[in-house]
Amino acid sequence: MRKLNIIFTLIAFTLILATQKSFAQSGQELLDICNMVAGEATYLKDFQIKLDEAKPGEEPPAARHSLVLSKNTQYRFSICNSKDYAGEAIIQIYDNNRLVGTNHMVATGKTYPNFDFKCSSAGVYHIFINFKEGKQGMAVVQLSYVDRF
């Protein structure tokens, strides 16, 4: 009987472990946090990114998206990193091959959890998202509308 109890306890324990994943932060939870972080800005779009750790000697993996931004419009990029992974997301905005915005300041080494981009030229922009030092990571990047200027 005691053996049977141990077996059932082990099965139960295994099932508990299997359900642990349900407590990991989901993309929706991260998005809801991001929307709170964005404050008064109005939600427009989100990008949910999950990237593996960079392999030795290789470039860190990156996600790429493109979007249209309007002239004389202030946008907010809010970044919410999952606490289940070590990676801290870095965003770079490119106009063709020209870097026009990022949340990571190379000069100071500071990475900001959100930033505003004052767009003065309507057009197609490409955003690249990777994780600092090529770590494995999961994040949600929210694009919001702040105001016109």
Partner 1 sequence: MSKQLIYLLLSLIVLINFSSCKQKQGETNYSDEFKIPDSVLTQGELEISEEAMEDIIENVSSPVEIAALIKSVGVPYSKEYLATTDYVDNYNTNFKQALGLGIFGADLGYQNMYNKTGSVIDYISAIKTLADELHVGQFFDFTTLKRLATNNQNLDSLMYISVQNFNQMDRYLSENNRRNLSTLIVAGIWIESMYLIGEVAKSSPNPELSEKIGEQKIILGSLMLLLKNYERDPKFKELIDELTEIQEIYKEVTITYEKGEPEAIEEDGMLVIKQNDKQFIEISNETLIKIIDKTVEVRNKIIQM
Contacting residue, 42, 52, 55, 133, with partner 1 by CB under 8 A:
42
- The window from 50-58, 63-71, 82-90, 129-137 that contacts partner 1 (CB under 8 A) reads 63-71
- Please count the helices (runs of H) and the strands (runs of E) in the chain: 2, 10
Binding mask 9-38 for partner 1 (x = CB under 8 A): --xx--xx-xx-xx---xx---x---x---
Nearest distance in Å: CB 136, partner 1 = 19
120 Cβ contact partners less than 8 Å away, ≥ 6 residues apart: 71, 72
Residue 131 binds partner 1 (CB under 8 A): no
Rounded least distance, CB 57 to partner 1, Å: 25
Size of the site for partner 1 (CB under 8 A): 54
Residue 55 per-residue DSSP state? P
Helix (H) or strand (E) holding 102: strand 98-102
Q: How far apart are CA 7 and CA 114, in angstroms?
A: 50
- Which residues in the 67-126 window bind partner 1 by CB under 8 A? 67-71, 73, 95, 98-103, 105, 112, 114-124, 126
Joined together, the tokens standing for residue 137 give: 């990571």
Establish if 55 lies at the interface with partner 1 (CB under 8 A).
Answer: no
Beta-carbon count within 10 A of 63 CB: 18
